[in-house]
Every structure is written in C-alpha cells, then in structure tokens.
C-alpha cells in the first residue's frame, strides 16, 4: 500500500502485513546533544544544561554571558545543515534495528524541517539505516495514525520527547510507547515521559521490550 502523510516530505512507504515500528531520529538513532556540544565548542559557546532545553543553557566561552536565543537558533540551523559532518549513530541502534527489521517494518519519523531532508537521508543511509523516512514538523500522533490506520498488527513508537510520546498515545492508544534518549546528561534532566510509556536504558533494552511486545501479540 502506498500512502501520503499530510504536511510531510517522505520516502515511498509500503507497509507489509506485519508489525510496524515508528522511530524518531535525533537522540534515538543519531546522536544530537553530544555532537551539538562539540559544534558549540568549535563556535566559542558551551552547553551547561540545568534544564531539559537548549535555549537558556548555552553560554559564550569568551565572557560567560548567556547566548541569545536567536544565536542559538542560527547555530542549530547551521548544525543541521552540516549534520553529516557531525552526527554519529547511537550505540547499537543499527544492529538492533536490523534484527527487528526481520519481523517488522521500520519507518523513521523526524520533526526536522523538510529542507534538511536530503542531508539526513544521506547520513542515515551511510550508517546502514536504510528505512524510509518521514520529515514533518506536524504532531507525531496523527502521522502514526495515518501510517497505522486500522491495521491489526502491533505498532511501536520510539522517541525521546514527552510531547511526541503522548501525542501518539492519544491518537493510537494501542501503541507500545518506548522512551529512549542517548545523551546521559539530558536523560537525567528529562521530565518523566508520562503514563503508559516504557523507559528504555539503551537500544538492547528497547529491543527486548519490543520483541516481548510482539511475542505477546502473537500469543
């Protein structure tokens, strides 16, 4: 079946008659916070997080002043423009997804602006993440709902952000929701992902949660 997700740019999507795993990218399959810290460092700034956000937690190395919001946004834009020089795969993500892809369809769902789509596609494929990708800044719940529809197969959603997990919970309540965040500093600062969400320590733990869910569904 070929489908179209509104307000999104995406690869061809052909789902089989098998379970579906919808997977976020930043902080889930590609490191984001850690390489962005390195990028800031190269540009004379540093991240000193005291809360779960970038804005307000970045400071000038020259005089210690807080980096203005518009400068942070401009650096984020430049970072994503050059992401293929900076972002690296999260430990074991590729191997775990490869094993899971033997029994499930995998689709990447990234909130990245569609203008960075080409760089991201190239970067993912370079690291063996050859699964179709959807890039949209629209809420993730409706996107998963469009993908999964009324299928009877199990569906899984993996993300680091509370809002995204709860959006999917609201629109596709039967989804196994898995919270995964690569960067340890930010993981300790993150708000609890909310009710009904399984928290994975790392990719092997996420894989175990997902295969147990599939086994249970298969009876």
Could you list the residues that contact Mg ion (CB under 5 A)? 24, 26-27, 160
Nearer of residues 29 and 104 to Mg ion, judged by Cβ: 29
3-state secondary structure of 142: helix
Nearer of residues 26 and 105 to Mg ion, judged by Cβ: 26
Nearer of residues 189 and 217 to Mg ion, judged by Cβ: 189
Nearer of residues 26 and 207 to Mg ion, judged by Cβ: 26
Q: How far is the CB of 27 from Mg ion (least distance, A)?
A: 4
Q: How far is the CB of 74 from Mg ion (least distance, A)?
A: 21
Q: How far is the CB of 32 from Mg ion (least distance, A)?
A: 7
Q: How far is the CB of 63 from Mg ion (least distance, A)?
A: 32
Q: Which residue's Cβ lies closest to Mg ion?
A: 26
Q: How far is the CB of 182 from Mg ion (least distance, A)?
A: 9
Which residues fall within 8 angstroms of residue 33, CB to CB, at 6 or more apart? 27, 47, 182, 183, 185, 186
Nearer of residues 186 and 214 to Mg ion, judged by Cβ: 186
Asked if residues 175 and 21 have their Cβ atoms less than 8 Å apart, the reply is no
Strand order of the β-sheet with 9-10 is 9-10, 133-135, 105-110, 20-23, 155-159, 176-179, 197-199
């Amino acid at each position: 079946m070929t489908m179209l997700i509104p307000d999104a740019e995406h690869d061809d999507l052909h789902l089989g008659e098998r379970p579906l795993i919808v997977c976020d990218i930043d902080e889930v399959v590609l490191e984001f916070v850690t390489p962005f810290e390195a990028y800031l460092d190269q540009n004379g700034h540093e991240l000193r997080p005291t809360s779960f956000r970038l804005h307000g937690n970045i400071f000038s190395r020259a005089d210690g002043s807080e980096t203005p919001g518009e400068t942070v946004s401009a650096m984020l834009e430049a970072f994503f423009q050059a992401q293929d020089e900076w972002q690296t795969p999260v430990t074991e993500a590729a191997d775990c997804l490869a094993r899971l892809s033997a029994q499930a369809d995998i689709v990447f769902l990234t909130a990245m602006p569609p203008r960075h789509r080409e760089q991201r596609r190239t970067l993912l494929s370079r690291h063996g993440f050859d699964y179709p990708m959807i890039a949209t800044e629209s809420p993730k719940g409706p996107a998963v709902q469009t993908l999964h529809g009324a299928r009877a197969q199990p569906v899984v959603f993996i993300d680091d952000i509370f809002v995204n997990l709860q959006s999917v919970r609201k629109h596709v309540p039967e989804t196994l929701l898995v919270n995964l965040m690569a960067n340890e500093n930010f993981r300790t600062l993150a708000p609890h992902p909310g009710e009904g969400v399984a928290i994975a320590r790392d990719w092997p733990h996420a894989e175990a949660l997902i295969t147990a869910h599939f086994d249970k569904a298969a009876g």
